[in-house]
């Protein structure tokens, strides 16, 4: 028996993967396909297609964007986070992104173990 959520997830991953030239890896699609070098492209795609994307596609794309930003911050000093800031300002209160913001803003134990994006999100939330 097919699980309708799995088929919706697969369909969303397939569509986004085709549009962005990404592979489908099953669970954690956004985490597996993250690419800091394409962060700006991912954000522009989200902005240009937001009105035609369903909530699941928006959530998957948000995970991809946040994972790309997090990895970019972790890998390169001076990483350009401005595309993510633009995404954040558009989606901060968007229910489709709530789980992603919860996931990426959590500290993993102590402040020394928090993700680079968690620290960035704290600063962005303090600005508003």
Residue 122 is predicted with a pLDDT of: 84
Average pLDDT over residues 33-54: 97
Number of domains in the chain: 1
Residue 35 is predicted with a pLDDT of: 97
pLDDT at 25 over 80: no
pLDDT at 3 over 60: no
pLDDT at 14 over 60: yes
Residue 1 is predicted with a pLDDT of: 44
The secondary structure of residue 95, as a DSSP letter, is G
Number of H helices, E strands in the chain: 7, 0
Average pLDDT over residues 76-95: 94
Residue 77 is predicted with a pLDDT of: 86
Which domain does 28 fall in, by range?
4-127
């Amino acid at each position: 028996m097919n699980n309708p959520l799995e088929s919706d997830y697969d369909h969303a991953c397939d569509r986004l993967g085709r549009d962005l030239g990404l592979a489908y890896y099953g669970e954690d699609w956004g985490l597996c396909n993250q690419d800091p070098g394409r962060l700006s492209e991912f954000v522009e795609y989200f902005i240009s297609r937001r009105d035609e994307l369903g909530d699941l596609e928006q959530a998957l794309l948000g995970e991809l964007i946040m994972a790309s930003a997090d990895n970019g911050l972790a890998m390169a000093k001076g990483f350009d986070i401005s595309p993510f800031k633009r995404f954040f300002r558009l989606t901060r209160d968007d229910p489709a992104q709530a789980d992603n913001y919860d996931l990426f803003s959590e500290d993993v134990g102590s402040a020394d173990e928090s993700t680079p994006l968690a620290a960035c999100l704290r600063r962005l939330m303090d600005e508003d």
